[in-house]
Amino acid sequence: MRPALAEDEPEQAFERAPDPAARPGPDADLYVAGVELQRKRKWLAARRKFWQLLDRYPDSPYAPEAEDRSGPNAFLGIHPLGPIGPRERRIDVALMADGYRIREQRDSDEASQEHLQVLLREPLYRVYRPYFNFWRFNLASEDKGVDEPLPPEPDDELRARQQKRRRPKRGPKQYSTALDCREAGPQGQVWANPRRVWHYLQYLDEHDSLVIAFAQMGKLGMGGMGIATTGPRGVVVHEFGHAFIGLLDEYVVNSGKPPGIVNGLNATSDRKRVPWQHFLDAEVRGVGVFEGGASFQKGVWRPARGCAMNNGGGAYCPVCREAGVLSIYERVSPIDEVWPKQPVVEIAAGTRELPEFRVLPMAPVGHELKVRWILGHAPEVTSPAEKSGRAGRAAGASRRPGLPTPIGFRLGTVRRAMGTAGLPLPKGIRVSTRTKRVRDVGKVHIARMPMGLPRGRHLLTAIVWDPTPTRGGEKPWVLKDERGLLEARHEWLLVVQPARGKPAEPGK
């Protein structure tokens, strides 16, 4: 379920401890000792070290973080869950536990692993697992429980009647936990306090504001604002669909029609203009137009009878899975890394030491990304490849929707695809390409410049494209990519200079 209530503003950043190497001292020694004990999972010994720091040096710059690591609700450390890729080119997701006391961290670890395993059963996250970094946050809670909702403030008459009772009515139960989880939905769905989530997320220096929070004593879940909150079992795929992809609920619990217009990727009030029309046109199995969605029985339509956004568990329907793939590529480029890093490469005419250009595509599980190379003359207006605005893309990579995918490497095709200007390349000049699997890196695609490349400016372009998985003759996962997210290209400007000692010809 998506939270329908306005949440608190994100908590202001607390003062992180300085670098102990830059600010040494006895208080720094205690801080370092406490962090090291936490790394070794000696939680109680670490707490005592932080208490010593607070007692002896209450005004230390290490004191705020020492208090945050040793209080009743405490941060105990971060640990990777599985392989971790370059953080600037991956989607970082934090898993945070609520309601686990300091002596219950082993149970918290097992619950984190179980929630990750449930998430990875969905084919979308299993296939694109290498695109993600998952981090386990160890958090200690003072209590184990989920806050019951507070009743509205009584008026004076009701307050007077309550005061006359001999035994006052028991109020809602409240607990002190790390994430301040509470019942926030009509079925008692658990929801983590975003202020507490953002507070602990500050310990991860680089992140994508994505969190899976799970409460030991919670039930069902809610998702939104980048936070997927669940109880101890099974709805993490559904709630992460809200938090990560922006999907709407597809189940129906409210009779009648919604009070306003519903307009989402997987639920709509407009029966005649559904967002998944391209799936209907392609006659994708299991996709149709079914009444009921966004929790309402009437006046809303959804794309499939069964989906994780409908029944709370299981797998996504084709429409939701397509949206998930595109959400991944909104954050990660199909190009993982390139060599050389510099966008302009100078080559001496006639040299036999031909440079190599390499591209490392992303590597989903079960299929490979396609790589094409194009070489053509660069017009004078061509500038070096620009760097992307988001750190998740490869250095120098830029997405440009609408670039035709070349049929081959024949020069006529190159000119039509690139629309380049200048003199034609001599016949027979082609790019030599090969692939090489490098240990701990992956399958690298390599292009070597041809001999006899004429003097002037040339543009070498590597195009990387994800065809998305297909199984047994089925359609690809993505049928409509209006923003060109599945494709990326990297450009090098090659400047072929005159050979040494040979003057340049006029106009060259």
Here the CATH number for the domain that contains residue 132 is 3.40.390
**Pick from 265-274, 424-433, 482-491: least confident:** 424-433
Predicted local confidence at residue 191, as pLDDT: 94
CA atoms within 13 A on the CB side of 147: 16
Predicted local confidence at residue 2, as pLDDT: 56
Predicted local confidence at residue 314, as pLDDT: 83
Predicted local confidence at residue 418, as pLDDT: 39
Pair of tokens at residue 122:
């969905």
Which of 331, 346, 367 is the last residue before a domain boundary? 331
Q: What is the mean pLDDT of residues 333-339?
A: 95
Between strands 91-98 and 74-80, the pairing is: unpaired
Residue 293: in which H helix or E strand, if any?
strand 290-293
Q: Are residues 201 and 237 in the same domain?
A: yes
Q: Which residues contact 143 (CB under 8 A, 6 or more apart)?
A: 99, 175, 176, 177
pLDDT above 60 for 411: no
Q: Does residue 386 form part of some domain?
A: yes
Q: Are residues 396 and 278 in the same domain?
A: no
Domain span including residue 60: 26-245
pLDDT above 70 for 12: no
CA atoms within 13 A on the CB side of 37: 18
Q: Are residues 228 and 279 in the same domain?
A: no
pLDDT above 70 for 398: no
Q: Does residue 306 form part of some domain?
A: yes
pLDDT above 80 for 488: yes
Q: Does residue 372 form part of some domain?
A: yes
Amino acid found at 46? A
User: What distance in Å separates the CA atoms of residue 141 and residue 139, rounded to the nearest whole number?
Assistant: 7
- b or e along 469-479 (b: 16 or more beta carbons within 10 Å of the residue's beta carbon)? beeeeebbbbb
Per the structure, the count of domains in the chain is: 3
Higher pLDDT, 320 or 424: 320
Higher pLDDT, 63 or 499: 63
Predicted local confidence at residue 311, as pLDDT: 82
Q: Are residues 341 and 296 in the same domain?
A: no
Q: Is 244 exposed, middle or buried (0-12, 13-18, 19+ CB in 10 A)?
A: buried
User: pLDDT tens-digit profile of 196-245?
Assistant: 999 999 999 888 999 999 999 988 899 999 999 998 777 999 999 999 99
User: pLDDT tens-digit profile of 315-333?
Assistant: 999 999 999 999 999 999 9
User: What distance in Å separates the CA atoms of residue 222 and residue 227, rounded to the nearest whole number?
Assistant: 8
Strand partners for 335: 361
Q: Does residue 16 form part of some domain?
A: no
Which of 299, 331, 363 is the last residue before a domain boundary? 331
Predicted local confidence at residue 498, as pLDDT: 78
Q: What is the mean pLDDT of residues 338-356?
A: 84
CB 299 within 8 A of CB 258: yes
Maximum separation of any 2 CA atoms in the chain, in Å: 106
45 phi and psi angles, rounded to 5 deg: -65, -40
CB 25 within 8 A of CB 56: no
Going from the C-alpha of 397 to that of each of 26, 192, 276, 336, 488, the distances in angstroms are 47, 37, 30, 9, 7
pLDDT above 50 for 452: yes
Q: Are residues 364 and 411 in the same domain?
A: yes
User: pLDDT tens-digit profile of 55-90?
Assistant: 999 999 999 999 999 999 999 999 999 999 999 999
Q: What is the mean pLDDT of residues 274-299?
A: 93
Q: Is 246 exposed, middle or buried (0-12, 13-18, 19+ CB in 10 A)?
A: middle
Q: Are residues 451 and 352 in the same domain?
A: yes
CB 459 within 8 A of CB 382: yes
Predicted local confidence at residue 156, as pLDDT: 61
**Pick from 70-74, 300-304, 312-316, 359-363: least confident:** 312-316
Predicted local confidence at residue 464, as pLDDT: 94
Q: Is 304 helix (H, G, I), strand (E, B) or coil?
A: coil
Pair of tokens at residue 493:
């400007």
Which of 245, 268, 292 is the last residue before a domain boundary? 245
Pair of tokens at residue 129:
């697992």
Q: What is the mean pLDDT of residues 415-434?
A: 54
CA atoms within 13 A on the CB side of 210: 22
Pair of tokens at residue 502:
């040979």
**Pick from 50-59, 200-209, 378-387: least confident:** 378-387
Helix axis angle for 63-70 and 26-39, nearest 10°, is 30
Q: Are residues 359 and 486 in the same domain?
A: yes
User: pLDDT tens-digit profile of 102-119?
Assistant: 999 999 999 999 999 999
Q: Are residues 342 and 206 in the same domain?
A: no
Q: Are residues 230 and 271 in the same domain?
A: no
Q: Are residues 325 and 470 in the same domain?
A: no
Residue matched to tokens 């000049």: 429
Band (pLDDT 50/70/90 cuts) for residue 347 is confident
Predicted local confidence at residue 56, as pLDDT: 97
pLDDT above 70 for 377: no
Q: Does residue 6 form part of some domain?
A: no
Q: Does residue 507 form part of some domain?
A: no
Q: What is the mean pLDDT of residues 30-46?
A: 97
79 phi and psi angles, rounded to 5 deg: -140, 140
**Pick from 363-367, 386-390, 457-461: least confident:** 386-390
Q: Are residues 370 and 470 in the same domain?
A: yes
Q: Does residue 162 form part of some domain?
A: yes
Band (pLDDT 50/70/90 cuts) for residue 426 is low
Mean pLDDT across the chain? 83
First to last CA, the chain: 65
User: What distance in Å separates the CA atoms of residue 186 and residue 175, rounded to the nearest whole number?
Assistant: 20
Q: Does residue 83 form part of some domain?
A: yes
Predicted local confidence at residue 407, as pLDDT: 28
Using only C-alpha atoms, the chain has a radius of gyration, in whole angstroms, of 28
Amino acid found at 84? I
DSSP 129: G
Share above pLDDT 70 across residues of the chain, in percent, rounded to a whole number: 80
User: What distance in Å separates the CA atoms of residue 229 and residue 185, rounded to the nearest whole number?
Assistant: 12
Q: Is 497 helix (H, G, I), strand (E, B) or coil?
A: strand
Q: Are residues 323 and 361 in the same domain?
A: no
Amino acid found at 34? G
